[in-house]
Every structure is written in C-alpha cells, then in structure tokens.
Amino acid sequence: MARWQPNAPERLVVAALDLFAERGYDSTTVIDIAQRAGLTKSTFFRHFPDKREVLFAGGGSMADVLAQGIAGAPGDAAPLEAVAQGLDAVGREIFVPARRAFASKRRTVIAANPELREREALKGIGLTAAMAAALRSRGVPDVASRVAAQLGALVMAIAHERWTGTDAGEGLGEEFGGVARRALAEVREAGALSLG
C-alpha cells in the first residue's frame, strides 16, 4: 500500500459508518474499518484516536461555522436571530443536501449505541458553548446568551431530526436552514404558550 492515501479520513469515516450500520458499533474493530477503507491500522490512528471519534470528526469546524454565522449577523439582530444566522451558515456549509443520506445513517448508528449517544451529547454541549460565546462577543449579556444558545441547540436538534428524515419525514427535501427557521418559530411559539 502507498504511504499516502488520498482522502484517507473521509474513506475511514464512510467505512466506519457502513460497518457500524451493518455489524453494530461493538462488533466493529479499527482493523475492520481500515481494511474496508483500503488503508492500514496505523493510517487510521494518524487521523483518529479511536473508533468512536471517527463519527465525530469536524465537530470543531461546526462550532466555528456556528460562531462565524452568529458573528456575521446584523448588529441589531436579536440573540435568537443571530443564532438563526449561525444555523443558516451550518446549512450552507455542513448540512448540505449531498450529505443528507450520510447524516441520516450516522444519526441511526448513534441512536443505537449508548457510548455514541454520550459522545454526541458532549458534542452538543460544545456547540451550545460556542453559540453562547459568540453571542457574548456580540455584547449579549451572559444569561441571555446562555438561554439563546440552549434554545439554539434545541432548534438544531429538532431541525436535524427533520432534515435527516428521522422525524416522520418532516423537512425531507428541504434545505437545512429553512427547516431550522421553521423549528425556531415553533420553539418561540411553544415558549410563548408556556410562559403566557
């Protein structure tokens, strides 16, 4: 095998996801993943510390995209509108239509394994913290930043379920940003009802 393999991280991610879906997470080894990708075990470990992390590559980039989207919102945007701008950016750069099938399969694999659900929850905490920090950088007070970020995380979760087709087909075929905006409107309405 050649020392350098093009697209090795992407190949490993796809191979891992396929194997986790076919055999289950616990029944898949790093060697299985590397072999399916046509790579070596050492190549796997050059890119990922363990098999769990193969499904969470790019988490930092999503946090960056969210933060940049929030930072790029108009100066007079309310905190939730700035969060919506961040979710729009995620839709343009990460949750693109070509990745919908992958995202849906990934979601199913994660839902089937407690260890992966735990790691996904940690990723969510990091994304929420990134949103709150971006809002504070805009001058939004701490408590308002935290509340808007928590609501943004809820909206993102609802929108992702719908966009990947795991929520009774709602949002299937739509752009992620549109699905997220609709979910945000529903969350605002629900908040008004519960507070009213």
- Per-residue pLDDT tens for 106-136? 999 999 999 999 999 999 999 999 999 999 9
> Which residue is it, tokens 């080894």?
29
Instruction: Tell me which residues of the chain have a pLDDT lower than 50.
Output: 1-2
Residue 2 lies in a domain: no
> Which CATH number belongs to the domain containing residue 138 in this structure?
1.10.357.10
**Predicted local confidence at residue 11, as pLDDT:** 94
Whether residues 46 and 79 fall in one domain: no
Whether residues 163 and 106 fall in one domain: yes
Whether residues 182 and 145 fall in one domain: yes
Number of domains in the chain: 2
> Which CATH number belongs to the domain containing residue 35 in this structure?
1.10.10.60
Q: Please check whether residue 12 is in contact with residue 44, taking contact to mean a CB–CB distance below 8 angstroms.
A: yes
Whether residues 189 and 93 fall in one domain: yes
Whether residues 41 and 137 fall in one domain: no
Question: What spatial distance separates the first Cα and last Cα of the chain, rounded to whole Å?
Answer: 65
Closest CA relative to residue 81, chosen from 159, 10, 5, 185:
185
User: How large a percentage of the chain has pLDDT more than 90?
Assistant: 81
